């Protein structure tokens, strides 16, 4: 009689080219949207108002792109990262079809890289995960890599393959919803007069506001995405662990940083790509999170006069305001207050 | 390169007659309604059951009126009260078109009064805020006044103007949804046999139950309304402040008081007006809130035999049951347990 | 002038055969579903994905059956258990029509048994409660019994009647939604390859994962169901009580146990019956809950080749993993870690 519970995959269970259909398809709803606003306080009018979205040609307000990310990501956890030691990075994330309440999201992953660690107790798994909707349109396609424990250190080592990953998603690969047209874009309702032309490469913005995280909040968020990693929920198990308490899902910080970035980037209405990301340090309930952003690049969008793209780095800090833009020292070491270093590309209206 | 973040308006930034279109229109949904029930436990059948609402002629269950208030109010915060020292009062609040899930709410405000304080460091701003739905119907029209910091104490003093505000909204100005008809009103389902005729002016009701507030709860509620006042969210910033911790949004107390008032006022199915309100003392997570009400007045509704109006004062207390109706002493000083003094008008069915 | 608040019913207020129409009909929505996922992390594909449900013939994803239970139960609290000392047991619970977002649930109860306690200060009340939807279809029909205080110990003792209750709901009485057909059931999406044939009577499954409960979480869940028992919400009142703090609604543990049981019982897609249940010990915020299940019985479903039934006991523990299946000792005494002993029947697909 086999054990009926899911032990997760260990490093030696992954094979190059392996395809995994992840469980629990998820119909997203207005309820998810309301909870997301309640948990993060997001204010982008494009996601908040169906009237505003309709004025731009959309059928209704799409989900916040980062919320869509969490749904796609959450499904991969029971198969990819249940035995993970660390979530190492993201790359090549392209948002496709906007996600609307009523859509059903399913995720499949392909193993695109493997490399055992020298100590033979773990290895790095690279997966490309694709989230689709009920019409089989891709809503998000991204790569992440994780360090996963081996169950049996003696299990044979796979041929190492580290995939080539781009530094950033190419502007030609960014998807703009084809119904979108911005000539009615209302900056009063959007909350800021600053458009694509007003931002400069190298410009840094302190997003000013801070949010203190409660246990109930990160637990509810993480469960909403059906992310099952025990480390976020089981305080007893963690009493005698390294940190002595529950760790907050790294994606929670991405959502907080994005919501905080409204104050300074209110017209960055759509996340088009995730170029990279690093969870620099763990966070815990009680931490107060701040964020700042730097404009890394400024790109015209091929074939579009009404909008442009900005490549941004948004950095989240804990328990220290971001007034002085804490980041890395000359040796490349992150400031001790930094918890997230997130590199992504947004769309922003241009002046008419 | 201008700072891209919103510094909020200071006292000297306001001018008489100034109109402000507030950002982030909000499509309200079933998700907001569910969260509101989860946060406050409201039980008015009119807002809880679409079948019940339909039996009274409504297309479906409208949002709790106080929830509609929070959406209209929340939008004003980034423009009106980001630099506020205190939220001083409300007046002349008239609820109009019921708000239904799917409606999109936008708020605009007009500055109707200004008075600089003697110390020249702050002043009082009176605004009339109007929330409308996607059909441009008014859902709520109310006045509030706030004490707002000056950025530059030397900025010139405006001509003082304090608007004339009524003590209470006139019964002739109360709006009854025109489709509403109460001959099928079911008191079993509504939860109480007591109708308009059963209440007497001067009658006091202890609402008995108590609710202890958690940080996660008031933060989620306040973010749901996209109210951005830092004071509710940033524990670090407040560590060395006067209170040493996050303050709860005053409107949270109005919602708690209204939800608690069900036990004694179950048939007060609609809030028609906010006559006045005062946040007497701040509240914090961990506080347990109780409430009691007094019937201030009892009004026939012109042209309606099926319902009447009650003007109520509902008082919320912290960390002390409301058994003895704590309020003010002879000198007019509030009892130290009182946190909210809310004066409003409700509609209630009459006996057939 | 009568007191307008609801004092609840005392033991002497109940009479045999008495019918009670409970207040506050409730239209359930996508918002409730999202909150339920956020609070418990449930992952059954049948309730999570409308596409998955549609592939099985359902019009859309129905609510989690235990969520439907909470709505039906919650309404009974103000009339049945406001003056309860203990919620003693459940029996004969049969789920009928699936509940969908948009449905309106109303509950009525009938008193089917009464027995005063020897000390004359309380008695046991047996009620059969029936939840119906807007089409007057039964969604749940169950019996519970509670020990209720007497208001006046001298009130006359009723003739004792203890109803005959079955040990378990008969398999012939289980309802299978008539549109349901399982030939397209996808075990990849459902999250487990184990079907009805793979489970054996006597088999025990440790559900492995643990969840730590926060005050905000159980309060929000309990209010969502409009369950008004003060004991869950009023910390001040409980400061000097036996436990010194708020008690968690027993049903919260049923939901946690059911959600945890996914890991090992992912294909138990429908709860068809509640045979019995006992809240063995109270739980509090901060407790970490684990669960394990035993297959008590395995039944063919009359007239159905595509699915069978499993009678399960799911036991929840606090602050101790369920690795060794803690239950009762030889004398019948529960292990000190056990908080819930829940006996219910689920439907599970058979191999094609």
Cα C184–Cα C188–Cα C194 angle in degrees, nearest 5? 90
Q: Point out the residue among B35, B216, B236 whose CB comes nearest to the CB of A319.
A: B236
How far C161 CA sits from the closest chain B CA (Å)? 28
Q: State pLDDT tens for residues B256-294.
A: 999 999 999 999 999 999 999 999 999 999 999 999 999
Cα C314–Cα C351–Cα C348 angle in degrees, nearest 5? 25
According to the model, what pLDDT value does residue A163 have? Answer: 97
d(CA B75, CA A43): 10
First to last CA, chain A: 68
Better-predicted residue by pLDDT, A82 or C240? A82
- A217:B214 CB<8 A: no
Q: Are B5 and A208 within 8 A, CB to CB?
A: yes
Q: Point out the residue among A39, A188, A203 whose CB comes nearest to the CB of B220.
A: A39
- What is the fold, at CATH topology level, of the domain defined by B193-352? Thiol Ester Dehydrase; Chain A (3.10.129)
Q: Please give the full DSSP string across A51-65, using - where no structure is assigned.
A: HHHHHTT-SSPPPPH
Q: HSE, CB side, 13 Å, CA atoms: give it for residue C348.
A: 27
What is the reported pTM?
0.98
What does the pLDDT average to over B238-248?
91
Q: State pLDDT tens for residues B95-107.
A: 999 999 999 999 9
What are the two backbone dihedrals, phi and then psi, of residue A28, each rounded to the nearest 5 degrees?
Answer: -90, 150
Q: Which helix (H) or strand (E) holds B129?
A: strand B122-132
According to the model, what pLDDT value does residue C238 have? Answer: 87
Q: State pLDDT tens for residues C127-138.
A: 999 999 999 999
Helix A65-74 × helix A215-224 angle, to 10°: 70
Q: State pLDDT tens for residues A176-186.
A: 998 999 999 99
Mutation target vs B (from A212, A268, A295; most B CBs, 10 A cutoff): A212
Q: Please give the full DSSP string across C175-212, using - where no structure is assigned.
A: ---TT---TT--HHHHT----GGG--TT-EEE----EE
- B31:C31 CB<8 A: yes
What token pair was written down for A105?
């999201």
Output the average pLDDT for chain A.
96
Q: Which helix (H) or strand (E) holds A69?
A: helix A65-74
Residues 6+ apart with CB under 8 A from C95: C65, C68, C139, C140, C175, C270, C271, C272, C273
Residue A27: pLDDT over 70:
yes
Chain C residues within an 8 Å CB radius of A21: 188-189
| Strand positions, DSSP E, chain A | 19-21, 26-27, 84-95, 104-116, 122-132, 138-149, 204-206, 211-212, 270-279, 288-300, 307-318, 338-349
Q: Are B245 and B215 within 8 A, CB to CB?
A: no
Give the CATH number of domain B1-154: 3.10.129.10
**Helix, strand, or coil (residue C47):** helix
According to the model, what pLDDT value does residue B160 have? Answer: 97
Chain B residues within an 8 Å CB radius of A319: 236
Lookup result for tokens 């959406």:
B71
Helix A215-224 × helix C30-40 angle, to 10°: 120
d(CA B220, CA C214): 14
Residue C1: pLDDT over 70:
no
Q: Point out the residue among C24, C31, C235 whose CB comes nearest to the CB of B35.
A: C31
Q: Please give the full DSSP string across C300-324, using - where no structure is assigned.
A: EPTT-SSEEEEEEEEEEEESS--TT
d(CA B98, CA B90): 20
Q: State pLDDT tens for residues B34-67.
A: 999 999 999 999 999 999 999 999 999 999 999 9
Residue C151: pLDDT over 90:
yes
Q: Are B257 and B103 within 8 A, CB to CB?
A: no
Residue A124: pLDDT over 90:
yes
Domain A11-154+162-349 -> CATH class: alpha beta
The total number of residues shown for chain C amounts to 352
Chain C residues within an 8 Å CB radius of B29: 31
Query: What is the torsional sign of CA B34, B40, B41, B44?
Result: negative
What does the pLDDT average to over B166-195?
96
Mutation target vs B (from A37, A38, A215; most B CBs, 10 A cutoff): A38
Chain B residues within an 8 Å CB radius of C104: 49-52
How far C221 CA sits from the closest chain B CA (Å)? 6
From residue B327, give the alpha-carbon distance in Å to each of B10, B250, B296, C236: 34, 18, 14, 20
- C32:A31 CB<8 A: yes
- A43:B228 CB<8 A: yes
Chain A residues within an 8 Å CB radius of B24: 43-45, 48-49, 189-191
Lookup result for tokens 């529950």:
A246
- B216:A212 CB<8 A: no
Name the residue of chain B whose CA is nearest to A199's CA: B1
Q: State pLDDT tens for residues C232-287.
A: 999 999 888 889 999 999 999 999 999 999 999 999 999 999 999 999 999 999 99
What are the helix and strand counts (H, E) for chain C? Answer: 10, 12
According to the model, what pLDDT value does residue A101 have? Answer: 98
Chain C residues within an 8 Å CB radius of A219: 211-212, 214, 217
What does the pLDDT average to over B211-215?
98
Q: State pLDDT tens for residues C30-56.
A: 999 999 999 999 999 999 999 999 999
Query: What is the torsional sign of CA C62, C63, C66, C68?
Result: negative
Residue A1: pLDDT over 60:
no
Q: Please give the full DSSP string across B272-322, using - where no structure is assigned.
A: EEEEEEEE-S---TT-EEEEEEEEEEEEEPTT-SSEEEEEEEEEEEESS--
CB atoms within 10 A of CB B244: 10
What does the pLDDT average to over C202-214?
97
d(CA C145, CA C148): 9
Helix, strand and coil percent figures for chain A, each rounded to 5: 20, 30, 50
According to the model, what pLDDT value does residue C260 have? Answer: 98
How far A35 CA sits from the closest chain C CA (Å)? 7
- Of B268, B257, B265, nearest to B314 by C-alpha is B257
User: Domain extents for chain A?
Assistant: 11-154+162-349
Identify residues of C whose CB sits under 8 angstroms from chain B CBs: 1-2, 4-6, 21, 23-27, 29-32, 34-35, 78, 101-102, 104, 106, 134, 214-216, 219-224, 226, 228, 230, 233-237, 246
- C49:A104 CB<8 A: yes
- Of C288, C286, C290, nearest to C263 by C-alpha is C290
Residue A326: pLDDT over 80:
yes
Give the CATH number of domain C11-153+167-172+187-349: 3.10.129.10
According to the model, what pLDDT value does residue B2 have? Answer: 66
According to the model, what pLDDT value does residue C2 have? Answer: 66
How far A42 CA sits from the closest chain B CA (Å)? 7
Q: Point out the residue among A1, A23, A237 whose CB comes nearest to the CB of C191.
A: A23
Give the confidence band of B86 by pLDDT, cuts at 50, 70, 90. confident
Q: Point out the residue among C41, C61, C101 whose CB comes nearest to the CB of A226.
A: C41
- C25:B48 CB<8 A: yes
**Taking every pair of C-alpha atoms in chain B, what is the biggest distance, in angstroms?**
68
d(CA C189, CA B81): 49
Residue C182: pLDDT over 60:
yes
From residue B9, give the alpha-carbon distance in Å to each of A263, B12, B147: 15, 8, 12
Q: Point out the residue among C33, C60, C217 whose CB comes nearest to the CB of A220.
A: C217
- A220:C264 CB<8 A: no
Residue A2: pLDDT over 80:
no
Q: Are A117 and A160 within 8 A, CB to CB?
A: no
- Of C215, C207, C202, C230, nearest to C312 by C-alpha is C202
Beta-bridge partner residues of C21: C108
According to the model, what pLDDT value does residue A63 have? Answer: 98
Name the residue of chain C whose CA is nearest to B216's CA: C216
- C228:B209 CB<8 A: yes
d(CA B345, CA B205): 16
Q: Point out the residue among B21, B216, B246 whose CB comes nearest to the CB of A216.
A: B216
Name the residue of chain B whose CA is nearest to A215's CA: B216
Beta-bridge partner residues of C126: C113, C145
What does the pLDDT average to over A101-113?
98
Q: Point out the residue among B199, B206, B214 whose CB comes nearest to the CB of C216.
A: B214
Name the residue of chain A whose CA is nearest to B222's CA: A38
Chain B residues within an 8 Å CB radius of A41: 222-223, 226, 228, 233
How far A239 CA sits from the closest chain C CA (Å)? 11
What does the pLDDT average to over C102-109?
98
Residue B241: pLDDT over 90:
no
What does the pLDDT average to over C128-154?
97
What does the pLDDT average to over A226-247?
91
Task: Report residue B242 CA to chain centroid gap.
Answer: 26
Beta-bridge partner residues of C148: C84, C123
Task: Report residue C345 CA to chain centroid gap.
Answer: 12
Chain C residues within an 8 Å CB radius of A8: none
Chains with 3+ CB–CB pairs under 8 A to B are: A, C
Chain A residues within an 8 Å CB radius of C35: 31, 35
Q: Point out the residue among B21, B226, B236 whose CB comes nearest to the CB of A212.
A: B236
d(CA B290, CA B305): 34
Give the confidence band of C3 by pLDDT, cuts at 50, 70, 90. confident
Q: Please give the full DSSP string across A233-285, using - where no structure is assigned.
A: T-TTTTTTSSSSSPPPPHHHHHHHHHHHTHHHHTT--EEEEEEEEEE-S---T
């Amino acid at each position: 009689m086999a054990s009926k519970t899911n032990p997760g995959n260990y490093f030696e269970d992954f094979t190059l080219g392996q395809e995994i259909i992840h469980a629990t398809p998820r119909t997203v709803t207005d309820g998810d949207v309301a909870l997301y606003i309640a948990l993060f306080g997001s204010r982008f009018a494009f996601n908040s108002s169906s009237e505003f979205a309709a004025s731009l040609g959309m059928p209704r307000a799409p989900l916040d792109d980062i919320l869509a990310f969490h749904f796609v990501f959450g499904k991969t956890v029971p198969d990819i990262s249940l035995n993970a030691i660390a979530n190492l990075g993201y790359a090549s994330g392209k948002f496709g079809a906007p996600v609307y309440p009523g859509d059903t999201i399913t995720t499949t992953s392909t193993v695109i890289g493997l490399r055992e660690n020298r100590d033979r107790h773990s290895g790095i798994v690279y997966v490309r995960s694709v989230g689709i909707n009920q019409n089989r349109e891709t809503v998000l396609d991204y790569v992440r890599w994780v360090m996963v424990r081996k169950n049996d250190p003696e299990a044979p080592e796979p041929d190492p393959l580290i995939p080539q990953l781009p530094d950033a998603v190419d502007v030609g690969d960014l998807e703009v919803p084809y119904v979108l047209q911005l000539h009615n874009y209302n900056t009063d309702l959007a909350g800021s007069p600053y458009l694509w032309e007003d931002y400069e490469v190298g410009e840094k913005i302190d997003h000013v506001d801070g949010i203190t995280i409660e246990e109930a909040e990160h637990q509810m968020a993480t469960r909403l995405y059906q992310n099952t990693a025990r480390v976020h929920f089981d305080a007893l198990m963690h009493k005698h662990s390294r940190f002595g308490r529950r760790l907050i899902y790294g994606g929670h910080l991405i959502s907080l940083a994005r919501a905080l970035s409204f104050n300074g980037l209110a017209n960055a209405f759509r996340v088009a790509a995730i170029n990279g990301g690093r969870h620099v340090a763990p966070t815990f309930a009680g931490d107060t999170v701040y964020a700042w952003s730097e404009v890394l690049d400024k790109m015209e969008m091929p074939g579009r006069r009404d909008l442009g793209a900005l490549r941004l780095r948004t950095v989240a800090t804990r328990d220290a305001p971001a007034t002085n833009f804490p980041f890395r020292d000359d040796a490349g070491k992150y400031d001790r207050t930094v918890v997230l270093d997130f590199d992504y590309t947004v769309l922003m209206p241009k002046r008419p």
